[in-house]
Structure 1
Amino acid sequence: MKAKPAKLHPLLHAATLIEKRVETLLASTGVRHRQALILDALDRFGPASQGHLAKEFNLSPGSMSTMTERLVVLGLITQRTNPDNRRQDILDLTGEGREALKAARRVWRQVDAQIDAALAPEDSAPFYATATVIRDSFGGRVPGAPPANTARPAARK
C-alpha cells in the first residue's frame, strides 16, 4: 500500500515556484526578494534601526546586518549612527533604493497577475485570504502590523 502524500506538498511546491519566479524577475534589478521586502518596510516605516527591522522580520541581528550591508554597498539604503543612541545604526532609503523598490513592486504585481490568471476569478480573493490565514496561523505578519488574530474563521457553507 502506497503512503498517501502530505497535503502540504503542493502548497510548498507552489510557494517555491512562486519565489523562484519572483527572484528571476528581480534579477535585473540586482535586488533579491527578501532585500526588496526590507526596502518596502523602510518605505512604510521611514528610517529604522537594524534591531527594529530584525525584530519585525523575525531575524537575528546578525542576519539583518548581513542583508542590510549589501543594500548599503548597492547604494539602496544609508546607514548612520543614531544620534540618540550611538550603539545603534539607523537605516533609510536612498533615491536609488526607492527606484529599486518601484521595480520590485512591479515584479510583485506581475506575479500577482500570473497567480490571478491561474485561478478562476471567483477563487482569487478567497485564495489570498486563505494564504493570509495560513501565514498568520504560523506566526507570520506584515512587518509593522500588530500580531494577527489567529482565531480560525467560521467555516463556509
Structure 2
Amino acid sequence: MSDGTPDMASSTDRPATAARLRNLGTRLLSLAAIHSDRLVNEELARVGARKWHYAVLATLDEFGPASQSELSRRTGIHRSDMVAVINELADQGRVERSPNPADRRQNIIAVTEQGHRLILELDSLLAEVENVVLAPLNPSEREELTRLLAALVDHHGRSM
C-alpha cells in the first residue's frame, strides 16, 4: 500500500505483506520475472523449445542469415552456449549451416522453412503467455510497462 501500512488481506486473500516489501520495486520486479520466466519455460517446453531457440530463430527471421558469433552478439547468448543451441536447432531441421564464402572457417546459420513455421508457433504461444502474465494491465499500461522495462534493460547494457 502506498500509505506505508501493511496490506490487510482477508482470510480468503493472500497473506498480508509488509509495506516495505510491497513497495520495493526491485523485489516486485524479481517476483514478476520469476513468475513470467516459469510460465514461458513451461509453455516452450510443452512444444519442445527453449528460450534460446526462440532468441536465435527470431534473430535469424528478422535479420537474415548470420554467423554464430553475430548471433551470439545479437542475442546475448554466450558463444560456447550458442554452439549447443545451433546444434539442437540443426538436429531438429530448424536451421542449417553453410560455409561462409568470405571466411571458410566460419559457418553461416540460416533458418529453414521448418524453423519459420516454429517461430510463428512460438510467437503465438508467447503472446498467449504474455496475455496471462499481463492480464491485470490494460493495453496502454502494457505498452508503458514494456517501455519502462526496455529502458531498464538498455540502461544496464543487456542485449535484448
Please state which band the TM-score falls in when normalised by the shorter chain. Answer: 0.7 to 0.9
- Name the structure 1 match of 2:11: none
1:138 Cα deviation after fit: 1.2
Cα deviation, 1:24-53, whole Å, max 9, x if unaligned, reads 112232111221111000001111100111
Q: Which residue of 1 aligns with 2:13?
A: none
Which amino acid is the alignment partner of residue 29 of structure 2?
L
Alpha carbon RMSD of aligned pairs, Å?
1.9
- The aligned residue for residue 55 of structure 2 is 37
1:7-156 equivalences in 2 (<5 Å): 7-142=25-160
Q: Read off the aligned partner of 2:30 and give its amino acid letter.
A: L
Structure with larger RCO (C-alpha < 8 A, sep 6+): 1
In the alignment, the residues of structure 2 paired with residue 117 and residue 24 of structure 1 have an alpha-carbon distance, to the nearest angstrom, of: 18
Larger Rg: 2
Deviation at 1:111?
2.0
Moved more, 108-117 or 60-69: 108-117
Residues 77-132 of structure 1: CA distance to partner in whole angstroms, max 9, x if unpaired? Answer: 00111122111001011111111101110012112222342224542221111111
Letter matched to residue 99 of structure 1: R
Moved more, 121-130 or 14-23: 121-130
Moved over 4 A (4+): none
Q: Determine the C-alpha separation between the residues in 2 that align with 1:116 and 1:130.
A: 14
Unaligned runs of 5+ in 2: 1-17
